[in-house]
Amino acid sequence: MSIGIPGGLDLDRHSLSIEEHQQVDLVAADADIAIDDHTATALQEGGGDALPGASDGHAVGGHADIVTGPCDANSPLATTFPFVAFVKTEDRGAARWLTLSAPERKNAVPSTGWDEIADAIDDFAASEQRALVITGAGEDFCAGADLGGDRVRSTSAADNTARMRLPNRAALALHRVPKPTIAAVDGVAVGAGMNLAIGCDIVVATSRVRFAEIFVKRGLTMDSGGTWLLPRLVGMAKARELALTGRMVYADEAEDIGLVTRVVEPDELAKAATEIADELAAGAPLAQRFLKEALDRSSALTFEQALAFEEQAQALLLGSEDVIEGAKAFFEDRPPDFQGR
């Protein structure tokens, strides 16, 4: 997706580079990690999955499970069940709301749900809407991936690699969206559900929220971007503790360690998320895009490279219509009307 920049330059979010000795390659690579059969057979299940009969808000299966990608016809992953829509979207003003809709299973994501999430995020990125709010139906955000029973188990490296590409696609879509994103989190947010939440730019949660990187308690490693996201929010020492124990994190601690931006009462969640979304939607789209890119890349850049990125980004923005509008609004003592040009 591209945004037009003044002077006719068409800038893709992942293609800005710094020349000569300060060059910074900002092209996002879709890294396909090859796992040999010996390693893969040790990984019996995909990421923060909701295990049948599990406690701590983990859901029992029942949603439609349709797995795409290479898998043997006799594999349990090849079974097809009637499709049930999982994602609902609604435009509210300049914001789009994406709701995970399986409250009877604490919004655990069926295998078809990952593509629904990714498609909905891609549709938002291509739309005129300015901010995205991701939330869950009922009293929970998301209990991770819905295993749907023993039929999804496989020891095939090909099956399990194909399976993991589904949540990865959703995680990448969220990470790459150039507009502001907000997670409105109530109740359970564990495993892949937690990482979907913290993959958003801003997380607002209720006083009854329960986060957990539950994977280790299921014999799994973190997925859906958790190993990248968590240490950037809470620091490496706390990230190690939360990942290696898989323990629950409640609202007060989540706010104290920087996992969430704000904690509100459950009946105030929609209002708080709406207020934040409206504020973000009124912001300057081009500036927001550069800010997201710079902050995402900051830990991988030297100070000199960060300065070089800021220099080129600011040079482009200084020639934009939005900067002119921002100055006019300031002198006229009114809110700016940014158009992303």
In a domain, 174, yes or no: yes
Give the CATH number, domain containing residue 262: 3.90.226.10
DSSP per-residue letters across 62-112: -S-----SS--TTSGGG--------EEEEEETTEEEEEE--GGGTTPBPHH
pLDDT for the residue 84: 63
Instruction: Out of 281, 297, 318, pick the residue that ends a domain.
Output: 281
User: In total, how many domains does the chain have?
Assistant: 2
pTM score: 0.74
Q: Which domain covers residue 307, as residue numbers?
A: 2-29+285-331
More confident residue, 319 or 162: 319
pLDDT at 158: 85
pLDDT digits (tens, 9 = 90+) for 71-125: 444 444 444 445 568 999 999 999 999 999 999 999 999 989 999 999 999 999 9
End-to-end distance of the chain based on CA atoms, in angstroms? Answer: 15
pLDDT digits (tens, 9 = 90+) for 3-35: 444 443 344 444 444 333 343 333 333 333 333
Between 55 and 320, name the one with better pLDDT.
Answer: 320
Contact 294, 178 (CB under 8 A): no
226 shares a domain with 78: yes
- Confidence at 146, pLDDT banded by 50, 70, 90: confident
Q: Within this chain, do residues 81 and 148 fall inside the same structural domain, yes or no?
A: yes
Mean of the per-residue pLDDT values of the chain: 80
Residues 307-335, mean pLDDT to the nearest whole number:
93
Assess if residue 47 is contained within a domain: yes
Instruction: Determine the pLDDT at residue 15.
Output: 41
Residue 61: partners with Cβ closer than 8 Å, 6 or more residues away = 50, 52, 105, 146, 147, 148, 149, 152
Instruction: Look at strands 262-264 and 202-206 and give their pairing.
Output: parallel
pLDDT digits (tens, 9 = 90+) for 147-156: 764 345 667 8
Q: What is the pLDDT of residue 162?
A: 85
Q: Are residues 188 and 122 both part of a single domain?
A: yes
300 shares a domain with 184: no
Residues 258, 291, single domain; the answer is no
Q: Are 289 and 177 in contact (CB under 8 A)?
A: no
- Do 86 and 48 sit in the same domain of this protein? yes
Least Cα distance to 3 among 292, 308, 329 occurs for: 292
The reply to whether 237 and 317 lie within a common domain is no
Q: Is residue 134 part of a domain?
A: yes
Residue 194 pLDDT exceeds 80: yes
User: Are residues 219 and 235 both part of a single domain?
Assistant: yes
